[in-house]
Amino acid sequence: MKFNILTLFPDMFKGVLEESIIGRAEKKGILSFNYVNIRDFTNDKHGRVDDYAYGGGTGLVMAVQPIYDAWKSVCGEKKKFTVYMSPQGKPLNQQLVQQLSSYDELVIICGHYEGIDERVIEEVVDMEVSIGDYVLTGGEIPAMAMIDAVSRLVPGVLPGEEAYSEESHYNGLLEYPNYTRPETILGKKVPDVLLSGHHKNIEKWKRKQSLFRTWLKRPDLLRKVKLSKEDENFVKKLKYKRRNRVQSAVWNE
Ligand code: 4H7
């Protein structure tokens, strides 16, 4: 999958996307990043890419010309799906991440300052995306978050094929807790079942942990996901116990 990133600050991306899993996938040729510096496209003799806002108001607005020409240089005559990172966008979630991972190429526009002239958005943007209801100084960090989330769904990016299928098994729920060596540390022992070698019980424990955590921390997610009869029964038990106000001890069996 290829990401074309239109930004005034291409260097912000390099350290992040060259490391770890995403970096390795790029070296393997599964992912590619094309950084397009919007400033390289300005026709302004002083190299300016922004200007005062019509109607007043604080701050500078990124002008149409450099962004539009940068976008044209990437797309030519063939439009490519173009995303603009903005607080007004569609909230990014795993479902949208999955949708975006189906493209084999994306163009991502990162605004800075007060954002970009509305007319570029009208002309070239297919989807505005937000990574959450908070304000940042630029769209670069949102772009990196989105690229990371989308990239890990591209086949071959994650190390084991397993990692992904395991996770999708818990789709829509929070993940169960993880433990590694040593068996005891800080006076705390790894849950016995994980050392038992009894795979069926381990799977059951993981599922219950997922359901329990989701119920406790993100009940909103629980309402959206489809549960088996067994899952339902387990969650019902939790509800009953919550009424007794013993939340920290709700699940001792
Ligand atoms: C595009 C338009 C995304 C980009 C406006 C970007 C949060 C997110 C930005 C702005 C972003 C997100 C203009 C918003 C200046 C803030 C004070 C850059 N912030 N700005 N405002 N949630 N900021 O995805």
Query: What six digits make up the tokens of 164?
Result: 């992904």
**CB 110 less than 6 A from any atom of ligand 1:** no
Banded model confidence at residue 229, pLDDT cuts 50, 70, 90: very high
145 Cα to the center of ligand 1, angstroms: 14
pLDDT digits (tens, 9 = 90+) for 172-217: 999 999 999 999 999 999 999 999 999 999 999 999 999 999 999 9
pLDDT at 249: 47
Q: How far is the CA of 196 from the centre of ligand 1 (A)?
A: 50
Q: Tell me the CA–centroid distance for residue 138 and ligand 1, in Å.
A: 6
**pLDDT, mean of residues 7-15:** 97
- 83-104 pLDDT, tens digit each: 999 999 999 999 999 999 999 9
Give the per-residue pLDDT at 253.
Answer: 59
pLDDT digits over 123-159, tens only? 999 999 999 999 999 999 999 999 999 999 999 999 8
Atom number of ligand 1 nearest to Cα 92: 24
Nearest CA to ligand 1 atom 10: 115
22 lines ligand 1 (CB under 6 A): no
Say if residue 169's pLDDT is above 90. no
pLDDT digits 0-9 by tens, 27-50: 999 999 999 999 999 999 999 999
Domains and CATH numbers, the chain: 2-151 (3.40.1280.10), 166-245 (1.10.1270.20)
What is the pLDDT at residue 239? 75
Structure confidence at residue 244 (pLDDT): 59
Q: Measured from the CB, is residue 132 less than 6 Å from ligand 1?
A: yes
pTM of the model: 0.94
